Amino acid sequence: MNWTPEQRALLLRLAESGEIGHAQLAQARALGPLRPTPAEWRTLLDRMFAFGGALLLSAAAVFFLAHNWEAMHRFARLALVVGVLAACCAGALCARPLGTGWRAALFGACVATGAVLALVGQTYQTGADVWELFAAWAALMLPFAWLSRSTASWVLWLGVANLALMRALSQSVWWGFFDTLSNAQALLAIAAFNLIVLLVFEAFGRWLIARPTRWMHRLAALGVLAPLCAGAVLGWWQSEFRVVAASFSVVAGLAAAVYHRVRRDLPILALAVYGGIAVLAAGLVKLLRVENFLNMNLVGLFIIAASAGAGVWLAGLHRQSATGGGVQ
């Protein structure tokens, strides 16, 4: 028998709290090791080196190209980045489908796709805006991410797609990506896009990711709640953001209900809870008009008490989920 990492953590936690004795812990150790086995370490290192190598090789091609830009003919530059992309695709074809090598090679292809687009845009001065390049990169890497069914590839795709959306919605050259924070419609658009991604992965995650992890779900949830929370905080002072505040109230409430009762996911639940605390703290700042030491301390006490209470509640849910084997 081989204990899962979650089961090992639960057994050690029960032993530390005194809920199980040395004899029971020894029985559990006899059934299976309570430390990661050499095979598990080899698997972890295999994935780290494979994905790290693919990322570093793709990045090395970009830096080599940038350093030798003047010394290389434009066709030599194109041959270099296209060669890296072709090598990644060839590596995937030679690897076992859905294996570590397969997923790492396609992750490298996702990175190399961006290098090809950047080179074409710089060499031929296409006149495309920054957001168009990011959008094209996200669109072109989508087949590679889908074929790889790798969390790393999907996380890269989500990051690039969000950058494209933020830059497209930005109205300022100087503030760039952060200009979207001053526009209620932009915050709603970013949250809506990430909500669609979250719903897609909740419904079809088993076909999009080879291994059952929830990193994409949690990052997409962060992309939903973070802009809505920022807008809700601003909504206490600016009427333009009140629709964002209302949207945050609805979305955070639904997220708390769904990821507490229906599909237990503590990181997403924590995002909703602590986002709500941040919005309420901002409202308290406006209500008390923090201008003296007493009111400032009242706001601080509220934040400390609410955060501590939420932490205790979430820790209890974590223990409950670990005991029952629920999603965390």
Cα–Cα distance list, 194 to 92, 201, 219, 269 (Å): 29, 11, 9, 16
Q: Which amino acid, one-letter code, is at 157?
A: W
So what's the pLDDT on residue 174?
A: 46
- Contact 289/237 with Cβ under 8 angstroms? no
So what's the pLDDT on residue 18?
A: 73
Helix or strand run (H / E) with residue 263: none
Positive or negative: CA dihedral 99, 220, 52, 7: negative
So what's the pLDDT on residue 270?
A: 96
- Contact 84/57 with Cβ under 8 angstroms? yes
Q: Which of 112, 122, 101, 116 is nearest to 51 (CA)?
A: 101
- Contact 228/191 with Cβ under 8 angstroms? yes
3-state DSSP assignment of residue 211: coil
Where would I find the H helices in 125-241? 130-148, 151-169, 184-208, 215-235
Q: What is the DSSP string of 19-54?
A: SS-HHHHHHHHHHS-SS--HHHHHHHHHHHHHHHHH
Which structure tokens are listed for 260? 């507490």
Q: % helix / strand / coil in the chain, to the nearest 5? A: 80, 0, 20
Could you list the mean pLDDT of each consecutive 10-residue stretch along the chain, which spans 328 residues?
71 74 78 77 84 86 82 84 90 88 92 87 70 91 93 95 89 55 87 97 90 90 96 92 95 95 93 96 88 86 95 88 59
For 68-101, letters b (16+ CB in 10 Å) and e give eeeeeeeeebbebbeebbebbbebbeebeeeebb
So what's the pLDDT on residue 128?
A: 62
Which structure tokens are listed for 220? 């997409």
So what's the pLDDT on residue 309?
A: 95
